Structure 1
Amino acid sequence: MLHDQSKVTLVIVDDHPIVIQGLKTLLADETRIEITGSFTNGSAIIPFLREHQVDVVLLDIMLPDMNGVELCREIKIISPRTCVLALSNHTERSLIMQILQNGAGGYLLKNASIEELISCINKALNGEVAFSKEVEDIIMRPSLNDLKGRPQLTKREKQILQLIAEGKTTAIMAEELFISPFTVETHRRNLIQKFEVNNAAELIKIAIQQQLLT
């Protein structure tokens, strides 16, 4: 049960309606929780927060229109007293740490129990950082990549990385950036080396995990 007798207003942001409905069903017996809104995209919650007091936001990390980590920061700017609990299937420690650094009050995996969810809501409202059990284990066991941290990229390398993710050829990238194909290939090799991967597919995968691509 929740920590006091006052009502807790809660909003759900998840791009899967079935997840929203499932959360509503799970929380239906918690009489102190009032679900005041649910949204399947990130942009819709911004005007809602400007007009309504929200105690807790259950926020999916991957949304169709916005990066969940960036949205978390926006929510905390608009409504600093709102607790944001990330709710995701993603288990990358770097991603967990990024959203915490952007103001989230906790992180739960979507396979968490209703008891864990209620406990995390309580902890977040009490000013504690709240994790589901599996996330606690992930936090305690950083991977080698997490310990290395994100590579430092130049502005040009970030541009090349984005264009690689878009599937652009070397020739097209050179044309769009007004540089030579040789320079494009040099940046591509530098990115491969910095991320310590073997090919573009691995490069894109780890860049997405580290929220360098949207």
Structure 2
Amino acid sequence: MNNTIKVAIVDDHKILTEGLKGLVDDSELATVVGVAHTAADCRHSIGFWKPDVLLLDVGLPDMSGIDLCKELTTRFPLTKVLALTTHNEYTVVRKMLDNGASGYLVKNAMAEEVLAGIEAVAAGKTFLCHEIDVLMKKPSSKNIWLSQRERELLKLICEGLTNAEIAAQIFLSPETIKSYRKNLLLKLGAKNTAVLVKMAIEQKLI
């Protein structure tokens, strides 16, 4: 097959890379064109391999996969990076994606998910394995995004103003303020205004 996806693997766990190589080569979907166990090996060889998809571990022995991801996607924009890692923390996933990764797999992902990920990123799509997809959709304190108006409202709530006072100050009806306040409680997962104020201060949301 000429349209077989060319895959390279960068991971310092040799047993894992062997298993992955076998999985990919047996799939008829893709073929492994190179394996590296360090960032230095990868840098040295990626120009020869010219992979369509690079399976990249976040924790490499000689440098962070997050930094390497940024470097490689800048140097080789046609190569899609699919992160493969034991890290399932929101911040690590976010950094990898911000640094150019097209997808994210955890190492205990099913074989089908690994192949689906390779196929998806090779086709220019973003792919998150099930566990990471669930994580990214979960409202966590680290990924709360508030609009300018919500921040303004939160600040006034923290100052102890009532709905009527806030309404008068930002020229909206008390009913509108009431629904904004309700949305903020939901968005931040706060049980009441006191918890909302505590979270706003602790997480520097205002």
Greater Rg by CA: 2
How many residues align? The count is 146
Deviations 1:117-170 (A, max 9, x none): 11111111121110110010000014223439xxxxxxxxxxxxxxxxxxxxxx
Match of residue 35, structure 1, among 19, 32, 37: 32
CA–CA distance in 2 between the matches of 1:59 and 1:122?
A: 15
Residue 73 to residue 62, structure 1, CA distance change in 2 (3 Å): same
Where structure 1 has 5 or more consecutive residues not aligned to the other structure, the ranges are: 149-195, 197-214
Residue 44 of structure 1 aligns to a residue in which SS? Answer: helix
RMSD, matched Cα: 1.7
Partner of 2:123: 126
Where structure 2 has 5 or more consecutive residues not aligned to the other structure, the ranges are: 146-201
Residue 41 to residue 145, structure 1, CA distance change in 2 (3 Å): same
Contact 2:25 2:32 in 1 (8 A): no
Partner of 1:106: 103
CA–CA distance in 2 between the matches of 1:26 and 1:126?
A: 19
CA–CA distance in 2 between the matches of 1:17 and 1:27?
A: 15
**TM-score where L is the length of structure 2:** 0.66
Q: How does 1:134-173 map to 2 (within 5 A)?
A: 134-147=131-144
Which letter maps to 1:112? A
**TM-score where L is the length of structure 1:** 0.64
Partner of 2:163: none
Partner of 2:75: 78
Q: Give runs of ≥4 in structure 1 deviating > 3 Å.
A: 145-148
Instruction: Work out whether 1:67 is the aligned partner of 2:64.
Output: yes
Instruction: Work out whether 1:7 is the aligned partner of 2:19.
Output: no
Contact 1:9 1:34 in 2 (8 A): yes
Contact 2:8 2:49 in 1 (8 A): no
Percent identity between the two aligned chains: 35
